[in-house]
């Protein structure tokens, strides 16, 4: 069920991202809801189908977005790897983990987008890109990280109920 | 005889009393007397009536409140339904207005063939400015077709699926359009940016640019048809020793509230890449 649920949820998140959230901006930065969801989902210890969700999200975003395809294909698995790595080391503080993973993956994702566009011949002044897009995007991602984490945690508890040890 | 006279006397007395009362009534003196007698009775009657009404209401009110609540709920339902219908009607009206405006534009330029499409999404990346429209190759849309609104140039189709297409806006940082300045009678290029602003570049420094000069597509390069309005010169910049003049541009299209567009289907972009050595 956890694996199958990925299809509708990623689809809904993608629709929300392309319709509503792409217009909710801080300066010119916007929230990356799918990246946040992948990070939050990867932080849930009971979830076993993280990689399917990650690959599906990466493929879906690569298909829909005009950004070079390798940006989501690299960023989303990287978010999963970082989330799993952090999950093993930061003990019993899931919110701190979520903020940490959000910050790292947002910076990497925006940085990689900038580099990929530069490689494709789209020149964006570094200062403008940094001040108008990257920093606001990281900030807005941090703002939205908390509700996304809560939603992912509730969904994970519903899909993968924890066994009670007597 | 004695009886008769008594009856007669009684009749006369009654008649006199009636006549007296009539006389008093006609003269208005009776009203005061009647008022003196009736007013306390009316007051008492009123007091009783109000108390009786209170008692009746006390017993019947709960049932009325329940009925009123039901009616209130029904009315609230009706109000919500009407409000949603009103919203839908307003939405339809706005869409109709947009479509009429697009239709007017299409009629004004009969040499082109158009397909109207709705904007159904925007690119998830904040670095680039693309929109997704709800028509694709099934409707005859191919890569490279120009996209306009009744106001002016929007962009071009860059990717197509069967039922949808992706359009690169002229505000995208990767967008470069060859343009012509109507008043200055010179050529230049309009460039997009990551902030969504557009600017004019590559303008001959010997030409005088003025605020408000109209910018239209030149048709050079074969990417866009000629003479589609893009915007107006906002603030010309001509620094000393610069190779070209620049200017910020006020686009005519409102890209934030873009909801419907027209795709020019009878224009085929020129692919001159095989000619490039």
ipTM of the complex: 0.91
Q: Which residues from A are below 8 Å from B128, CB to CB?
A: 65-67, 117, 122
For residue B245, give both structure tokens: 């003049």
Inform me whether the pLDDT recorded for B2 exceeds 60. Answer: no
Angstrom distance (rounded) from CA B84 to CA B73:
16
pLDDT at A165: 61
CA distance B159 to chain A (A): 9
pLDDT at B241: 81
- Cβ–Cβ of B124/A120 closer than 8 Å? no
Question: Under an 8 Å CB criterion, which residues of B touch A?
Answer: 120-128, 130, 132, 158-159, 166, 168, 173-174, 193-196, 256
CA distance A20 to chain B (A): 8
Residue B4 pLDDT level (bands cut at 50, 70, 90):
low
Inform me whether the pLDDT recorded for A34 exceeds 90. Answer: yes
3-state secondary structure of B215: strand
- Our measurement of the distance from residue B245's CA atom to the centroid of its chain's CA atoms, rounded to an integer in Å, reads 41
- Cβ–Cβ of A64/B124 closer than 8 Å? yes
For A66-78, what is each residue's pLDDT tens digit?
Answer: 999 999 999 999 9
H or E segment to which residue B202 belongs: strand B198-203
- Cβ–Cβ of A117/B128 closer than 8 Å? yes
CATH class of residue range B114-268: mainly beta
Residue B171 pLDDT level (bands cut at 50, 70, 90):
very high
- Cβ–Cβ of A132/B174 closer than 8 Å? no
For B86-118, what is each residue's pLDDT tens digit?
Answer: 999 988 888 888 888 888 887 777 788 899 999
Q: Choose between B60 and A54: higher pLDDT.
A: A54
Calculate what percentage of chain B has a pLDDT beyond 70.
97
pLDDT at A48: 87
Q: Which residues of chain A from 60 to 89 reach within 8 Å of chain B, CB to CB?
A: 61, 64-67, 71
Residue among B124, B166, B189, B255 with most chain A CBs within 10 A, to mutate:
B124
CA distance A151 to chain B (A): 21
Q: Does A18 touch chain B (CB under 8 A)?
A: yes
pLDDT at A166: 59
Calculate what percentage of chain A has a pLDDT beyond 70.
96
Q: Which residues from B are below 8 Å from A128, CB to CB?
A: 193-195
Question: What's the average model confidence in pLDDT over B161-189?
Answer: 93
The per-residue pLDDT of chain B, averaged, comes to 87
Residue among B118, B119, B127, B197 with most chain A CBs within 10 A, to mutate:
B127
pLDDT at A94: 84
CA distance A98 to chain B (A): 21
Domain with CATH 2.40.10.340 in chain B: 114-268
Residue B123 pLDDT level (bands cut at 50, 70, 90):
very high
For A120-138, what is each residue's pLDDT tens digit?
Answer: 999 899 999 999 999 999 9
H or E segment to which residue B150 belongs: none
DSSP codes joined into one string, chain A: -TTTTHHHHHHHHHHHHHHTGGG-EETTEE--HHHHHHHHHHT-TT---HHHHHHHHHHHHHHH-SS-THHHHHHHHHHHHHHHHHHHHSTT-HHHHHHHHHHHHHHHHHHHHHHHHHHTT----HHHIIIIIIHHHHHHHHHHHHHHHHHHHHHHHHHSPPPPP-
- Cβ–Cβ of B173/A23 closer than 8 Å? no
Phi, psi (deg, nearest 5) at residue B135: -130, 145
pLDDT at B29: 75
């Amino acid at each position: 069920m956890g694996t199958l649920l990925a299809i509708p949820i990623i689809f809904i998140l993608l629709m929300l991202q392309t319709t509503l959230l792409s217009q909710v901006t801080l300066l010119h930065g916007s929230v990356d809801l799918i990246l946040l969801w992948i990070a939050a989902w990867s932080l849930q210890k009971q979830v076993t189908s993280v990689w399917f969700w990650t690959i599906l999200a990466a493929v879906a975003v690569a298909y829909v977005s005009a950004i070079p395809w390798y940006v989501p294909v690299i960023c989303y698995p990287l978010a999963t790897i970082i989330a799993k790595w952090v999950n093993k080391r930061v003990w019993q503080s899931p919110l701190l983990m979520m903020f940490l993973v959000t910050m790292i993956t947002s910076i990497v994702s925006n940085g990689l987008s900038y580099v990929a566009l530069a490689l494709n011949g789209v020149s964006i002044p570094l200062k403008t890109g940094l001040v108008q897009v990257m920093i606001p995007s990281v900030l807005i991602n941090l703002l939205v990280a908390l509700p996304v984490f809560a939603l992912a945690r509730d969904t994970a508890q519903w899909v993968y109920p924890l066994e009670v040890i007597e | 005889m004695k009886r008769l006279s008594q009856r007669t006397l009684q009749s006369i007395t009654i008649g006199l009393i009636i006549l007296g009362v009539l006389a008093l009534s006609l003269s208005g003196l009776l009203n005061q007397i009647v008022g003196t007698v009736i007013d306390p009775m009316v007051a008492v009657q009123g007091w009783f009536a109000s108390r009786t009404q209170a008692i009746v209401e006390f017993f019947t009110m709960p049932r009325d409140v329940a009925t009123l609540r039901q009616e209130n709920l029904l009315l609230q339902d009706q109000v919500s339904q009407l409000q949603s219908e009103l919203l839908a009607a307003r939405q339809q009206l706005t869409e109709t207005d947009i479509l009429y405006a697009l239709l007017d534009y299409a009629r004004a330029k009969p040499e082109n063939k158009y397909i109207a499409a709705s904007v159904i999404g925007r690119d998830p990346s904040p670095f680039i400015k693309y929109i997704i429209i709800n028509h694709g190759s099934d409707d005859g849309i191919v890569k490279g077709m120009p996209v306009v609104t009744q106001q002016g140039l929007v962009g071009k189709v860059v990717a197509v699926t069967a039922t949808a297409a992706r359009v690169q806006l002229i505000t995208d940082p990767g967008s470069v359009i060859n343009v012509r300045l109507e008043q200055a009678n010179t050529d230049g290029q309009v460039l997009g940016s990551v902030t969504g602003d557009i600017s004019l570049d590559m303008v001959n420094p010997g030409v005088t640019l003025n605020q408000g000069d109209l910018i239209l597509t030149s048709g050079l390069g074969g990417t866009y048809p000629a003479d589609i309005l893009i915007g107006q010169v906002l603030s010309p910049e001509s620094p000393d020793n610069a190779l070209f003049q620049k200017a910020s541009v006020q686009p005519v299209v409102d890209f934030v509230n873009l909801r419907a567009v027209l795709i020019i289907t009878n224009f085929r972009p020129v692919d001159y890449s095989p000619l490039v050595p």
